[in-house]
Amino acid sequence: MAPLSNRVAVISDIHGNRHALEAVLEAVAAEQPDELWCLGDLVGYGPQPNECCSAVAARADLCLAGNHDLVVLGSLSIHDFAGDAATAARWTQTVLETGPRDFLAGLESSARRDGIELFHGSARDPVWEYVLSEETAWWTLQATTAPVVLVGHSHVPLAIGLDGEDLAGGLTRDGTVVDLAAGRWLLNPGSVGQPRDGDPRAAYLLLEPGRTASFHRVDYPIERTQTEMRERGLPEALAARLAEGL
């Protein structure tokens, strides 16, 4: 695969959180990347799935389908979800409009682009597997050949490098910069709409061609999203966790 030639902003796991998405898109616009890629889960959990789908459809040059997207479409069984996730998915199914539904229906859960392999979950299971351990990172890097592998799904920003047989890295914080010239890398941008690393700010990743990957966080009006979730009768636990980033 040819090396990445463009500056690319990468987002993932928006989960119907329009206010978080708008804050990230504004920050991304200031960076003036050549492309915007999304690793999936535009819907689920959050209160504005249609608005998020429309915004990503208008802005993204590449977009994957996540497990929440597929469940809402009916491509996966809602019985694969439990508790609050299932409740939110059922609600999303009742409000998702034709345009957003058609956009989601045209997406795949993996892709290749410019020396990069992209998965919503992992290389072994692009829909369901979480890359959160050294073992799962190892297997995804072994199952791929690209210098950079992008994954979403876990809602946790990660940078895990493979140099020969040695893995290094892990959780990243705002401002982390990774040298992409050193070995191969598995990167997760973190979540736009529902971070789970203890930092409630929305997350995104910026790839500089042949050089670096930088991790960024953006403040957004969390309480506005929480109010909208409560107004729509979505589970309280899903609203409360936004303030904690968990």
Task: Tell me the C-alpha to C-alpha distance, in Å, between residue 16 and each of 26, 53, 68, 213.
Answer: 17, 8, 11, 26
Half-sphere exposure of 89 (CA within 13 A, CB side): 22
Phi, psi of 33 (to 5 degrees): -70, 165
Q: Of the CATH numbers 3.40.1120.10, 3.60.21.10, 3.40.640.10, 3.40.50.300, which one belongs to the domain with range 8-241? A: 3.60.21.10
Half-sphere exposure of 158 (CA within 13 A, CB side): 28
Task: Tell me the C-alpha to C-alpha distance, in Å, between residue 79 and each of 41, 87, 117, 153, 179.
Answer: 18, 11, 30, 19, 42
1: pLDDT strictly greater than 60:
no
Task: Tell me the C-alpha to C-alpha distance, in Å, between residue 205 and each of 11, 42, 54, 98, 104.
Answer: 7, 17, 21, 30, 22
Task: Tell me the C-alpha to C-alpha distance, in Å, between residue 224 and each of 24, 240, 246.
Answer: 16, 12, 18
Contacts of 55 (CB under 8 A, 6+ apart): 18, 21, 22, 25
Half-sphere exposure of 114 (CA within 13 A, CB side): 15
Question: Mean pLDDT across the stretch 103-127?
Answer: 93
User: What pLDDT score does 4 carry?
Assistant: 60
Q: What is the pTM of this model?
A: 0.92
Question: Mean pLDDT across the stretch 89-96?
Answer: 95
Domain ranges of the chain: 8-241
User: What pLDDT score does 138 carry?
Assistant: 86
Residue-wise pLDDT for 190-203, tens only, equals 999 999 999 999 99
Contact present, 192 and 154 (Cβ < 8 Å): no
User: pLDDT band for position 235 (50/70/90)?
Assistant: very high
User: pLDDT band for position 61 (50/70/90)?
Assistant: very high
User: What pLDDT score does 75 carry?
Assistant: 86
Task: Tell me the C-alpha to C-alpha distance, in Å, between residue 22 and each of 51, 203, 218, 222, 224.
Answer: 10, 12, 10, 12, 13
Share of the chain above pLDDT 90, in %: 75
Residue-wise pLDDT for 137-147, tens only, equals 888 998 998 88
Mean pLDDT of the chain: 92
Give me 66's structure tokens: 């996540």
